Structure 1
Amino acid sequence: VLVPWAIPTVVSAKMWAWMLHDQFGIVNAGLMALGVIDRPVAWLADATTALPAVILVDVWKTTPFVALLMLAALQTVPRDCYEAARVDGIPAWKVFVFITLPLIRPALAVAVVFRLLDALRVFDLVYVMTGNAEATMTLSVHARQQLVQFQDMGYGSAASTLLFLVVGLVTILWL
């Protein structure tokens, strides 16, 4: 269950780039075998499918971490609360909304903050899968492009500083 999270991001990005390859990728082969698509799709080369593909891979990679946080949070909910709700005949959806959710809210907030910060800072996954593609340009990739490719140190530094400030602001607001 934790394997996607344990694999280094560069390795999983390259693995998914191969699986999403338009000519010999297993995703296209499987979808064509099932009759879902007629011809291979260039998942990472097409501007309309590149970003959803990268997001899907990022979700695949980080879901085990969020699941582990939620499992730990659920382990802290006292069984007495559930027992009292069962004795009182409270429906399952009300137990979830009024008992479980409020008690795991702090862990849920931590998971949301971690994922939001990861999404803001993502570089390696996007860069390995699509390079400098316009459709998947994140602020980190943009800052790197300005610094390394265009040799514009001022602009690249400003973009990196802006990213730092946004991440810092989000962190302060959530805490």
Structure 2
Amino acid sequence: MSRSEAGMTAAIGEKRGYKLGTHVNAYLKRVWSYRLSYLFIAPFVLCFTAFIFVPVLLAVLLSFTYFNALQPPRFVGWQNYLYLLSQDLIFLKNALPNTIKFVLLVGPGGYIASFILAWLISQLPNYSRTVYALIIYSPSLVAGTAMVAVWAPLLMGDRIGYLNSILLGMGLIDKPVLWVTDPKYLMNAMVAVTLWSSMGVGFLAQLAGVLNVNKELYEAGRIDGVKSRLQEIWHITIPSMKPQMLFSAVMAIVGTFKAGEIGQQLSGTFPTPQYAGHVLMSHIQDYGDVRFEMGYASALSVFLLVMMYAANKLGHKLFGARGDE
């Protein structure tokens, strides 16, 4: 390379460096101009990083290792996932099917019940509306142990249990049913108790959505030929409260997938009888808290996270606005 070419190359390099420095300085000035905004979002960013991003990242990394919480993690590649999808019979025969069944019953069931109750309560006067909303919302505030204490007298597996006593008195059964210890009935009991306690923040969001629908839309609908309440709900109410319905759907999905201890609390055993109430959260607890196989428990957690993400994407498809995706 001649001296002239070398000089030209150096000049081009200096020019590019100058442009890069100018862009960096402009970017730093722009960031500094929004310093107050960054200060306000800093607590959220720090909490999100510390309690969500870092744990999820560590779970993904640990899922590729064998880690017993005593020795350093040992990299095993995809071995945990291969075992999960091919050799873990409890996962394949019990945890996964039970989770899918539980989610399909509790998720849509609780979601639809929340909307129906929210719509019915919205038709009441203000004072009655507040009282009924508090009554329906209050079970979601009950902790797991207290919730079981409420349901234990009803589902007790002898003649003293309220449900057995009523059914025996009506002649519908000839002997007491073990509602929470018989594998045939445990999942049904779990679904009933979880539905009872599922009217939480999602229910309040839907109630707020119904109450905030513009009343002029109903008047315009009547002019355009809307004749029944069902048509009002389908053509006016639901389209007008899609943001609240999306939020409620996300909360229902997350809450349903996270529910895992209710089967253990109802039956009083871990694992539940014949794994009848054994869901993915129970399986994670088994390997993480009992067996201390943290690597495999992390793989289960990642699998659960993928299921929740897929369910959330479905919720966005159904209830999200087109510009939100």
TM-score bracket, normalised by the shorter chain, equals: 0.7 to 0.9
Instruction: Work out whether residues 203 and 248 of structure 2, in 8 Å CA contact, stay in contact via their aligned partners in 1.
Output: no
TM-score using structure 2 length:
0.49
C-alpha RMSD over aligned residues: 2.2
Once the two structures are aligned, what percentage of the paired residues are identical? 25
In the TM superposition, what is the alpha-carbon distance from 1:19 to its structure 2 partner? 2.4
5+ long unaligned stretches in structure 1: none
Is structure 2 residue 198 aligned with structure 1 residue 34?
Answer: no
Is structure 2 residue 264 aligned with structure 1 residue 127?
Answer: yes
SS of the equivalent of 1:63 reads coil
5+ long unaligned stretches in structure 2: 1-134, 317-324
Structure 2 residue identity aligned to 1:161: V
Structure with the larger RCO, 1 or 2 (CA within 8 Å, 6+ apart): 2
Residue 163 (structure 1) aligns with: 304
Residue 10 (structure 2) aligns with: none
In 2: Cα distance, 1:35 partner to 1:75 partner: 45
Show the 5 A alignment for 1:37-48: 37-48=173-184
In the TM superposition, what is the alpha-carbon distance from 1:64 to its structure 2 partner? 5.0
Instruction: Work out whether residues 186 and 263 of structure 2, in 8 Å CA contact, stay in contact via their aligned partners in 1.
Output: no
In the TM superposition, what is the alpha-carbon distance from 1:43 to its structure 2 partner? 0.9
The count of corresponding residues between Structure 1 and Structure 2 is: 175
Larger radius of gyration: 2
Is structure 2 residue 286 aligned with structure 1 residue 145?
Answer: yes
Instruction: Work out whether residues 253 and 312 of structure 2, in 8 Å CA contact, stay in contact via their aligned partners in 1.
Output: no
In 2: Cα distance, 1:104 partner to 1:55 partner: 27
Can you list the C-alpha shifts for 1:10-30, whole angstroms capped at 9, x where unaligned? Answer: 310343234212013222122
In the TM superposition, what is the alpha-carbon distance from 1:75 to its structure 2 partner? 0.9
In 2: Cα distance, 1:127 partner to 1:47 partner: 12
Residue 94 (structure 1) aligns with: 231
Can you list the C-alpha shifts for 1:121-158, whole angstroms capped at 9, x where unaligned? Answer: 11232331233111111111111112233343332232
More moved, 73-82 vs 5-14: 5-14
Structure 2 residue identity aligned to 1:97: W
Is structure 2 residue 239 aligned with structure 1 residue 108?
Answer: no
TM-score using structure 1 length:
0.86
Residue 140 (structure 2) aligns with: 5
In 2: Cα distance, 1:113 partner to 1:36 partner: 39
